Amino acid sequence: MTESDTARHFLRQWIEEDLAAGKNDGTVVTRFPPEPNGWIHIGHAKAVWVDFGMAKLFNGKCHLRMDDTNPSKETDEFVEQLKKDISWLGYSWDKFFYACDMFDTMWEIAEELIQRGQAYVCELSQEEWKAYRGIPQEPGKPSPYRDRTPEENLALFRKMRTGEFAEGTHCLRAKIDMSSPNIHFRDPVIYRIVNQPHYHTGDTWHCYPMYDFAHPIEDALEGVTHSMCTLEFEVHRPLYDWVIDRLAEQGRLVVRDGKTIRPQQREFSRLNLTYTVMSKRLLRQLVEEGHVDGWDDPRMPTVAGMRRRGYTAAAIRDLCERTGISKYKSLTDLALLEWCVRDDLNRISTRRMAVLNPVKLIIDNLPEEAELTAEVPNNPEDETAGKRTLHAGRELWIDRDDFMEVPIKKFFRVTVGNEVRLRGLCLFTCTHIVKDEAGNVTEIHGTYDPNSKGGNPSDGRKVKGTIHWVSAKYAKTVEVRLYDRLFAMEDPMACPSGNFLDALAPESMKTITGYVEPLLADALPGEHYQFERVGYFTPDVHASKPGAPVFNRTVTLKDSFKAK
Ligand code: ATP
Ligand code: MG
């Protein structure tokens, strides 16, 4: 169930009204249009959720389109990664498009604009062009190139295509209204020269369409009915509609079942999260400058990073649902995402015991060769997950934090003279400890109650504390990576130095060695574990080897984070 199934937000209402009014052919076609110039992040996941979710709600279709009209940083690797991440999020597209496959048609449309006197080649420099455009409060000034003849414009436009001009010297502008209060209407640039090869079209083109021109054309040619994007495009909407009107004029709108499909755009607010940055440009910088271990570093807000860290697709969708669809600019607390992750992992993760900060515990009254067994549930939230049997001799590892020599009030765990439950195994009373020369506790000694099988005393007496343990004889050692927030500031972009890199947390990853119960040696990437009383962990997809998993901490068990 997604929010779009239940909530009555404005996008849903918009589509419902269109359907009721008999617009288009009665079908809903949406699209998710990423630029393949980086890996998608959780902000994109929100757009995926909106675009695919709304199509699903109305039994419509959603296209996946590479918005690849900008040659500089696009690659096929990014395309493949996008597909993988969107599939992992739980969505499948009805049709797949490359915008660059529409370059020829876009060109024809532009030439037809020129022929109709609706576009011209301008030679103002970018600074001049900005100065002529002016400010919204006052009318702009027309370009001296505005009244060129169509023949002149066509000849120049064709030279832009074949690479005869340097970047920045010429551009194609739509001829609209230099005094419009909407700055985007003041003869916007629709083609600019980029003398760089494109990952699919190579050196065929030396000029490329601008987003504002290309996007409505892509939507129209694909027969998209409802085009949803983020709020910053709201002021571009009149231009979007202007382009659609020109396409209608040129007879280029798709006709389905005898009905002309006229795409429309609506905008919703972006997802913003605390303690992270969410622009591909900045994420790329983190990767390229080596601040993180790749786009899928478990501390990155990318979908792949979150997956590698152990976040689930269900948790990410849950976050989208909880933050909803609105027009208000908002900042979502990362703690909410972590809450969603814990909520899902609590339901699905397999319970295991692991000791990450070990100290030895010795059951003095258990004979050398004797063993105790524990039968513990694999997931108390899911009976079908069954139970497992653990074995232990007289030596165990427990967590150092579960012992206090001088206990504070309400400390019910291991202290000299106190009885605790060793989870699923038995009751244990500490009798004395051994320290090294530096005063560190090295051994905790005590006795167990032979009549407390499974940790339940035969006389029914109450024992408050239960701690986890692993058998010293059977435990495996594993590498564990403890991740924290990548940034130490809620809004890294507000870093006083002006450089978001200065907001990087000094220690956002710590590697330790832990003792884990033997079954965990066979853990595989993609599996989710709760290390009981510790947190949620998953084997790292890159570092793990068969029989030797390396665990990433997905999230702690409780929110230990104190908001400033
Ligand atoms: P970035 O600045 O991170 O590169 P972008 O918008 O340039 O983001 P695109 O690949 O063009 O990246 O984005 C594809 C779609 O994802 C767009 O429709 C965009 O509006 C949407 N999107 C990007 N970031 C967010 C966000 N934080 N919240 C919601 N939607 C987003
Ligand atoms: Mg973009």
Tens digit of pLDDT per residue, the chain (564 long)? 444 445 678 999 999 999 999 999 999 999 999 999 999 999 999 999 999 999 999 999 999 999 999 998 999 999 999 999 999 999 999 999 999 999 999 999 999 999 999 999 999 999 999 999 999 999 999 999 999 999 999 999 999 999 999 999 999 999 999 999 999 999 999 999 999 999 999 999 999 999 999 999 999 999 999 999 999 999 999 999 999 999 999 999 999 999 999 999 999 999 999 999 999 999 999 999 999 999 999 999 999 999 999 999 999 999 999 999 999 898 999 999 999 999 999 999 999 999 999 999 999 999 999 999 999 999 999 999 999 999 999 999 999 999 999 999 999 999 999 999 999 999 999 999 999 999 999 999 999 999 999 999 999 999 999 999 999 999 999 999 999 999 999 999 999 999 999 999 999 999 999 999 999 999 999 999 999 999 999 999 999 999 999 999 999 998 754 443
Nearest ligand 1 atom, CA 270 = 28
Alpha-carbon distance of 62 to 59, in angstroms, equals 10
Nearest to 318 by CA among 297, 349, 294, 345: 345
Measure 45 CA to ligand 1 centroid, in angstroms: 9
pTM of structure: 0.94
H-run or E-run covering 284: helix 280-288
Domains and CATH numbers, the chain: 10-268 (3.40.50.620), 280-350+478-556 (2.40.240.10), 357-468 (2.40.240.10)
Q: Is 279 a pocket residue for ligand 1 (Cβ < 6 Å)?
A: yes
Residue 485 and residue 251: Cα distance in Å, rounded? 53
Longest distance between any two alpha carbons in the chain, whole Å: 102
What atom of ligand 1 comes closest to residue 272's alpha carbon? 27
Asked if residue 230 has its Cβ within 6 Å of ligand 1, the reply is yes
- Closest to 422 (Cα-Cα) out of 447, 450, 455, 396: 455
Using the mean position of ligand 2's atoms as its centre, give its distance from the Cα of residue 37 in Å.
9
Smallest CA-to-CA distance from 307 within 154, 88, 494 is with 88
Nearest to 239 by CA among 268, 267, 219, 215: 215
Inter-axis angle of helices 313-323 and 334-348, nearest 10: 140
The pLDDT score that the predictor gives to residue 322 is 95
Q: Do the beta carbons of residue 428 and residue 447 sit within 8 Å?
A: yes
pLDDT for residue 7: 62
Q: How much distance in Å is there from the Cα of 212 to the middle of ligand 2?
A: 11
β-bridge partners, 536: 530, 555
Q: Whose CA is nearest to atom 26 of ligand 1?
A: 43
532 lines ligand 1 (CB under 6 A): no
| Secondary element (H or E) of residue 448 | strand 441-448
Closest CA to ligand 1's atom 22: 44
Half-sphere exposure of 503 (CA within 13 A, CB side): 22
Q: Residue 563's pLDDT is what?
A: 41
Cα 210 to middle of ligand 1, angstroms: 16
Whole-number pLDDT of residue 560 = 59
User: CA 104: distance to chain centroid?
Assistant: 34
Are 78 and 38 a contacting pair, CB within 8 Å? Answer: yes
Q: Is the CB of 535 under 6 A from ligand 1?
A: no
> For strand 441-448 and strand 358-363, is the pairing parallel, antiparallel, or unpaired?
parallel
Cβ proximity of 544 and 533 under 8 Å: no
Is the CB–ligand 1 distance for residue 43 below 6 Å? yes
Identity of the residue numbered 220:
A
> Using a 6 Å cutoff on CB, does residue 301 contact ligand 1?
no
Measured at the CA of 151, the angle between CA 147 and CA 157, to 5 degrees, comes to 85
The residue whose CA is least distant from atom 9 of ligand 1 is 34
Q: Are 143 and 124 in contact (CB under 8 A)?
A: yes
- CA 43 to ligand 1 centroid distance, Å: 6
What pLDDT is recorded for position 308?
98
Amino acid (one-letter) located at 555: V
In this prediction, residue 4 carries a pLDDT of 45
Distance 355 CA to ligand 2 centre (A): 45
- Among the bound ligands, name the one nearest to the CA of residue 74: 1
Catalytic residues: 35, 270, 280
Helix (H, G, I), strand (E, B) or coil at 176: coil
Q: Which of the listed residues 11, 41, 44, 218 should we mutate to test ligand 1's pocket, taking the one with most ligand atoms within 8 A of CB?
A: 44
Answer whether 280 contacts ligand 1 (Cβ < 6 A): yes
